[in-house]
């Protein structure tokens, strides 16, 4: 009996102890849960009221650092730029600037060039970083991507420099020629000669200003806003008429074929200007008694059929080095020859912008001393495209089938085979 009583007493004592331990553990667990954890210190609760909302609408990349340089808050753009890695600010100059601001409370700003992450490209990422204190313990870092702005500024600077140079040449020539006319007022032959030169320079100046206006228009206007089906044969006929006098002077034969029953969708004026520039270049850069051919055909593409308009000449050709730059503004393969032919260096830039704005492209094949082929690819005008446009604007449907077909006329017919490289005629 004494043994049983002792066992019972021990069991009761053990039960009481277990209950006390369980109660203490429960109380300790509740107290621990009520305490702020380290992770909770790095959430929105530590940010001043309203700061989180403001940071979420900023276009700049935002990073908030605490007193231990840990990232409390970072926008998705900051991660995309590679500013934050593993919960830390990864750019050392920005981190140093943040520490200095935390120490003295002064606002600091710096511009840096950062390497691009994962692109394999050598160009750097230009950013502007601004650091300011946020409350008593936090620091706010705002980073603005300046890469695109710098690129646009460089393009604008080069464009202004090129325009200034191109305008200076004919203006300076006109000034000198006017002085020569005044000095030779008693020599009719000299006056006639200088007046002819003045007329040439004035024409060049007029062409340059007009092409600047055209380039500005194709860059700013939406060509598909007032788009319509355009007959390819009419565009070709207009381009030939535009260059007929220059071709006749050099005894250059212009031939077109395969242009009937093809229609493209776009702005007629811009398309005519683009094709006219290609034909004009072909005539200007071709030797006398050669041939310029214009051919069109339909090609199948994943996004819909395209119309290819190829302009082939037997001119001086373009080197591989120059092919990559010929569509740049004011770039000319042979500046001396361009001045002799009246070129401004803007014609192909206009063609490129027109093709891109119409959903197409322009490509070039060329070999030195053999000739060149410029191919303009544009989306074909289809009934569905016209139907969508008409429904949006409540206009009658107009498509290729609604237009009266015309014969190619006296031009020779080109086949649907791939366009061959130009051959020099004997």
- Summarised one tens digit per residue, pLDDT across range 105-126 is 899 998 888 877 654 455 688 8
Antiparallel, parallel or unpaired: β 291-299 and 253-257: parallel
- The pLDDT of residue 81 is 84
Average pLDDT, the chain: 76
pLDDT, mean of residues 310-337: 78
> Regarding predicted confidence, which is higher, 201 or 343?
201
> Regarding predicted confidence, which is higher, 330 or 36?
330
Question: CA 422 → CA 166, 191, 312, 315, 319, distances in Å?
Answer: 33, 44, 6, 10, 16
Which residues have CB under 8 Å from 377's CB, separation 6+?
299, 306, 307, 308, 309, 355, 360, 361, 362, 363
Antiparallel, parallel or unpaired: β 361-367 and 88-89: unpaired
How close are the terminal C-alpha atoms of the chain, in Å? 134
Give the integer Cα–Cα distance in Å for 412 and 250.
Answer: 21
* Res 385 pLDDT > 70: no
| DSSP annotation string for 7-45 | HHHHHHHHHHHHHHHHHHHHHHHHHHHHSPPTTGGGSGG
Question: What is the per-residue pLDDT across 216-247, written as a single tens digit (0 to 9) for each?
Answer: 777 666 666 777 899 999 999 999 998 998 89
Report residue 410's pLDDT band, with 50, 70 and 90 as the boundaries. very low
Distance of CA 33 to the CA centre of its chain: 55
Give the integer Cα–Cα distance in Å for 145 and 7.
Answer: 79
> Which of helix, strand or coil describes residue 103?
helix
Give the integer Cα–Cα distance in Å for 338 and 285.
Answer: 9
Give the integer Cα–Cα distance in Å for 110 and 114.
Answer: 12
Give the integer Cα–Cα distance in Å for 326 and 274.
Answer: 15
Which residues have CB under 8 Å from 269's CB, separation 6+?
none
pLDDT, mean of residues 342-353: 78
Look up the pTM and report it.
0.53
Tokens of 145: 């991507």
Tokens of 283: 């005539």
* Res 291 pLDDT > 80: yes
- The pLDDT of residue 347 is 81
Residue with tokens 């100046």: 205
**Residue 82, phi-psi category: left (phi > 0), alpha (psi -120 to 50), beta (remainder):** left
* Res 363 pLDDT > 90: yes
- Residue 407 CA neighbour count, 13 Å, CB half: 4
* Res 310 pLDDT > 90: yes
Question: CA 343 → CA 208, 217, 347, distances in Å?
Answer: 9, 20, 8
User: For helices 232-249 and 268-284, what crossing angle results, to 10°?
Assistant: 30
Q: Which neighbouring-strand residues pair with 372? A: 313, 366
Which residues have CB under 8 Å from 354's CB, separation 6+?
218, 223, 270, 271, 273, 274
Tokens of 380: 């074909």
Give the integer Cα–Cα distance in Å for 225 and 236.
Answer: 23
Report residue 390's pLDDT band, with 50, 70 and 90 as the boundaries. very low
Question: What is the per-residue pLDDT across 250-277, written as a single tens digit (0 to 9) for each?
Answer: 999 999 888 788 999 888 888 998 999 9
Q: % helix / strand / coil in the chain, to the nearest 5?
A: 50, 20, 30
């Amino acid at each position: 009996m004494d043994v049983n009583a002792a066992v019972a007493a021990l069991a009761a004592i053990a039960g009481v102890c277990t209950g006390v331990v369980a109660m203490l553990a429960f109380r300790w667990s509740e107290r621990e849960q009520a305490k702020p954890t380290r992770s909770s210190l790095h959430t929105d609760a530590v940010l001043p009221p309203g700061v989180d909302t403001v940071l979420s609408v900023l276009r700049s990349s935002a990073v908030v650092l605490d007193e231990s340089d840990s990232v409390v808050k970072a926008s998705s753009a900051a991660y995309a730029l590679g500013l934050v890695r593993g919960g830390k600010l990864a750019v050392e100059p920005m981190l140093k600037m943040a520490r200095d601001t935390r120490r003295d409370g002064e606002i600091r700003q710096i511009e840096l060039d950062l390497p691009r992450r994962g692109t394999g490209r050598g160009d750097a990422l230009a950013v502007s970083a601004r650091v300011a204190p946020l409350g008593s313990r936090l620091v706010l870092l705002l980073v603005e991507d300046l890469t695109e702005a710098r690129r646009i500024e460089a393009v604008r600077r080069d464009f202004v420099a090129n325009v200034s140079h191109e305008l200076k040449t004919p203006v300076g020539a006109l000034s000198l020629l006017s002085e020569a006319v005044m000095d030779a007022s008693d020599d009719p032959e000299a006056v006639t000669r200088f007046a002819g030169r003045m007329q040439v320079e004035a024409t060049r100046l007029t062409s340059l200003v007009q092409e600047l206006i055209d380039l500005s228009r194709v860059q700013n206007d939406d060509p598909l806003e007032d788009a319509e089906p355009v007959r390819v044969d009419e565009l070709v006929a207009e381009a030939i008429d535009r260059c007929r006098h220059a071709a006749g002077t050099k005894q250059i034969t212009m031939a077109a074929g395969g242009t009937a029953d093809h229609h493209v969708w776009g702005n007629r004026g811009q398309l005519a200007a683009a094709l006219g520039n290609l034909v004009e270049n072909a005539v200007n850069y071709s030797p006398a008694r050669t041939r310029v051919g214009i051919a069109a055909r339909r090609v199948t593409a994943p996004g819909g059929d395209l119309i290819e308009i190829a302009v082939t000449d037997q001119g001086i050709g373009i080197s591989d080095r120059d092919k990559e730059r010929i569509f740049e503004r004011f770039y000319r393969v042979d500046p001396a020859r361009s001045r002799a032919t009246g070129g401004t260096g803007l014609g192909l830039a206009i063609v490129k912008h027109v093709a891109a704005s119409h959903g197409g492209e322009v490509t070039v094949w060329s070999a030195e001393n053999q000739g060149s082929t410029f191919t303009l690819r544009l989306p074909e005008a289809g009934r569905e495209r016209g139907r969508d446009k008409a429904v949006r604007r409540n206009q009658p449907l107009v498509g290729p089938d609604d237009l009266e077909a015309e014969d190619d006329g006296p031009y020779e017919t080109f086949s649907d085979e791939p366009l061959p490289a130009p051959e020099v005629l004997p």
